[in-house]
Amino acid sequence: MHTGRWFEAGPPLRCSLCPHHCAIAPGAFGLCKVRSNADGKIALPFYGEISSMAIDPMEKKPLYHFRPGSSVFSVGFIGCNLRCPFCQNWEISQSVDTRTRQFSPRELVAEALRLKQTSVAWTYSEPLVHIEYLLDAMPLVREAGLANVLVTNGCIEEGPAREVLAFTDAANIDLKCFSGETYKRVLGGDLGAVRRFIELCGELGVHAEATTLVVPGLNDSDEEIDACATFLASVSADLPWHLSAYHPAWRWEAPPTPPASIARHTQRARTKLRYVYPGNIASSANDTRCPSCSAVAVSRDFPFGKVDRSGLVSAGGSFSCAACGEPLPFR
């Protein structure tokens, strides 16, 4: 049995990986359902248990400014430390009864290479509650010449966040709202930890994009969207932000987000951030336009059957607009 780091021995045994700081009784599990107490230590019975594997367009993560037009080997575990009532992946995030298959870190990297992929995305449910596996696998991914992509709720403590970000090439972080109360009461998370995670990406030079699922009546007021945009702009005005349309899922049955609402919020947020994109809807606003000359640098049709990056010139690891030469923030 693999054992976990980040705990206080107690009694009671407390996991210190995320802000929940669960006190875990012998034989029981923490809120994420994957970290347990065995003999006074954190046990990881789901280490290497993979629920989902697929090859996705990088844009589907969503990452629009990292290796545009490439594909990524996407890997999902089970469990999550949040309980968003509209979770699109609730079958694997809120239950551990899903069928899984065991892969060692080396086997997983070998599978990515066999499939001729150049990036591995840790995604679908919440990867950070399996951080010990990530810290075993991510260095191997890099040694094999591949990139690590982390798709996360960003809700962990700063110490482990720094460790995992040291091996992260690109991250998409959910900024679910800008109300600490909504995070706590509705989602079971911690806004402060998520904000710090996004700031850390900026401080450590990790390519970061943010996603907000715009849920009518929950987080779609102008004030809340403005507050998210202002915070993200304080990290970097070049940080790409995806404002995604919600669809009913799991315990949330309200009607889907109207496309007009996404379009309006996207336009307004562009007064604070240079690259704001609508998510889950087809729109020409999915294209990246050069902020200097307005030429299309990258065009994307939804759901990403075609990504045309002919308006982007790369030289020595930097990117610029093919029309006017303006440097553009891509990796």
93 binds ligand SF4 (CB under 6 A): yes
CB of 317 to ligand SF4, least distance (A): 32
Binding mask 253-292 for ligand SF4 (x = CB under 6 A): ----------------------------------------
81, 117, 168, 320: residue in contact with ligand SF4 (rule CB under 6 A):
81
43 touches ligand SF4 by CB under 6 A = no
Q: At what angle do helices 131-143 and 158-165 cross, to 10 degrees?
A: 20
**Of 289, 280, 288, 287, nearest to 259 (Cα)?**
280
The least CB distance from residue 95 to ligand SF4, in Å, is 11
Kindly tell me which of 117 and 123 has the beta carbon lying closer to ligand SF4: 123
- CB of 281 vs ligand SF4, minimal distance in Å: 19
- Relative orientation angle of helices 105-114 and 131-143, to the nearest 10 degrees: 40
Q: Which is nearer to ligand SF4, 158 or 222 (CB)?
A: 158
Q: Is 75 in the site for ligand SF4 (CB under 6 A)?
A: no
Task: Calculate the CA 91 to chain-centre distance.
Answer: 18
Region of residue 8 (phi > 0: left; psi between -120 and 50: alpha; otherwise: beta):
beta
Query: In the bound complex, what is the minimum distance in angstroms from residue 226's beta carbon to ligand SF4?
Result: 23
Residue 18 sits in the site that holds ligand SF4 (CB under 6 A): yes
Q: Which stretch binds ligand SF4 (CB under 6 A): 79-87, 111-119, 283-291, 292-300?
A: 79-87
Phi-psi category of residue 172: left, alpha or beta, with phi > 0 → left and psi -120 to 50 → alpha: beta
Site for ligand SF4 in 113-172 (CB under 6 A): 125-126, 129, 153
Closest residue to bound ligand SF4 by CB: 30
Rounded to whole angstroms, how far apart are CA atoms 254 and 271?
A: 29
20 is a contact residue toward ligand SF4 (CB under 6 A)? yes
DSSP string of 229-286, one letter each residue: HHHHHHH-TT--EEEEEP--BTTB-SPPPPHHHHHHHHHHHTTT-S-EEEESS--GGG
Give the CA dihedral 77, 301, 317, 294, nearest 10 degrees. Answer: -140
> CA 227 → CA 46, 111, 203, 221, 231, distances in Å?
37, 42, 21, 10, 6
Residue 60 corresponds to which amino acid? Answer: K
Subset of 289-328 contacting ligand SF4 (CB under 6 A)? none
- Residue type for 19, please? P
Q: End-to-end CA distance of the chain, in Å?
A: 38
Q: Does 21 bind ligand SF4 (CB under 6 A)?
A: yes
Give the SS3 label for residue 294.
Answer: coil
Binding residues for ligand SF4, total number by CB under 6 A? 22
Q: Is 76 in the site for ligand SF4 (CB under 6 A)?
A: no
> Shortest approach of ligand SF4 to residue 164 CB, angstroms?
13
Binding residues for ligand SF4, rule: CB under 6 A, are: 15, 17-18, 20-22, 30-32, 35, 80-84, 87, 89, 93, 125-126, 129, 153
